A = this chain, B = another copy of it.
Amino acid sequence: MTDVSRCPPLTRQSVVEAHARIRPYIHRTPVATCETINQVASTPQAERCPHTGPNTAAEPAPHEHGVTGDAAGCIARPRVKLFFKCENQQRIGAFKARGAFHALGRLIEQDGLDNVKRKGVVTHSSGNHAQALALAAKTHGIPAHIVMPTISTPSKIAGTKSHGADVIFSGSTSVERGAVVAEVMGKTGATLVPPYDHPDIILGQGTQALELEEQVEGLLEVEPGLGVPGRKRLDAVIAPIGGGGMLSGICTALLGTGIRVFGAEPRFEGADDAEEGLRQGKRVESVKTLTIADGLRTPVGEIPWSIISDKEKLAGIYSVTEEQIKAALRLAMERAKLFIEPSAAVPLAVVLYNEEFRKLVEQEAGEEGWNVGIILSGGNTTMEAIAKLFEVPTKAAERAEGKVTVDGDRIAENVAG
């Protein structure tokens, strides 16, 4: 990978240059809006109709009292208009294509294409970065070795292989995969392209913020009613944080624009390491969680941490429960018709259900409200994964007792019908 000391500075201008570098290889993904979700988000949780949350009796209501312990919770009334940046429609189905194409482009500029082709590249990733590097490498005719945990989603393994990459399996701890990566590097001389903790990756991921900013201004010029009254641009952007490559890239891209940047993460089993790190004033270095937001199970990297822990650059991080992620995922799919992976639903879940965030928006945005950009980071999930998340539990139990068929039809009804 390009030597960090020779990388461009982490500035908005460098993101602009990164965008010019990768533009031929990536999609300018669309920006979507959904009036129904705007209305739900702008209604206090306590007043919402039951159809805007999980609609099976078995699932608990996703809202909860503010983390401040406010007993009268769930009453914040932020006014928001949401703009969804559809990186689920990016190449390989996730924003990671941006960082991979940028990092590889910079490596080629520095070492020359022939050298990079001879040595190849290597990375470790359980999913989207693996596919992204495989695609970028194939595009330039460079061999790619991808170390993936054996427990990776089969569709992500298949996607990585479909781009011609050499997939090598490892255990899922960082020590296990590090050993396999070192072995590949020793054998082939391949250059490591890390998934998030590198300036070239960060600058590449930041490019989506430039597009989003410009696209929202374009939309509001044509149709002002899509936004809050009197505002012609974004007021805030909220993005998921796992390793932090994307969030720190977005902070870098938007610094000085007046657009606030927020991070969103799952809370399950300590996945809220970034929020916890900010509280402690110190990066949390390891995380062990099986949150359904599988792209966000990693601790924040060192370089991303140096950016997001700067209050000038990041306005705050908020976390949500697994049920809240599922409820946001449901709304994005059923109402906005956007097919996304659970990690991509986390920022929407914060906007809909995190009472602390909602109070902040209500206070800062006031009567007028905010135009909020929401990064839908990816769409790489499978029908089976969705089936597992949303199966009606009572059906499974009844089936075990022989009361329903495997198709879920009630046997008694079939007899009667």
Chain A residues in the interface with B (C-beta under 8 A): 30, 32, 49, 51, 55-56, 86, 88-89, 93, 154-155, 158, 162, 329-330, 333-335, 337-340, 379, 381-384, 386-393, 395-397, 399-400, 402, 406-408
For the complex of A and B, list the 9 residue pairs with the smallest distance between their C-beta atoms, beginning with the closest.
A383-B390, A337-B379, A337-B339, A387-B387, A387-B390, A400-B400, A387-B391, A339-B339, A88-B337
Separation of A281 and B388 alpha carbons in the complex (Å)? 46
Residues of B within 8 A of A158 (CB): 51, 55
With contact pairs A337-B338, A391-B391 given, residues A406 and B399 touching in the complex (Cβ less than 8 Å): no
- A223 to chain B minimum Cβ distance, whole angstroms, is 11
Closest chain B residue to A329 by CB distance?
B383
Separation of A383 and B388 alpha carbons in the complex (Å)? 10
- A345 to chain B minimum Cβ distance, whole angstroms, is 12
Which among B334, B399, B402, B406 is the interface contact of A383 at CB below 8 angstroms?
B334
Residues of B within 8 A of A382 (CB): 55, 334
Closest chain B residue to A29 by CB distance?
B337
Closest chain B residue to A401 by CB distance?
B400
Separation of A329 and B386 alpha carbons in the complex (Å)? 13
Closest chain B residue to A91 by CB distance?
B35
28 contacts between A and B (CB under 8 A): A49-B162, A55-B154, A55-B155, A55-B158, A55-B382, A56-B384, A93-B335, A329-B383, A333-B383, A334-B339, A334-B382, A334-B383, A337-B338, A337-B339, A337-B340, A338-B339, A383-B386, A384-B391, A386-B387, A386-B390, A387-B387, A387-B389, A388-B391, A388-B392, A388-B408, A396-B396, A400-B400, A400-B402
Which among B162, B381, B406 is the interface contact of A396 at CB below 8 angstroms?
B406
CB-based contact B337/A155 at 8 Å: no
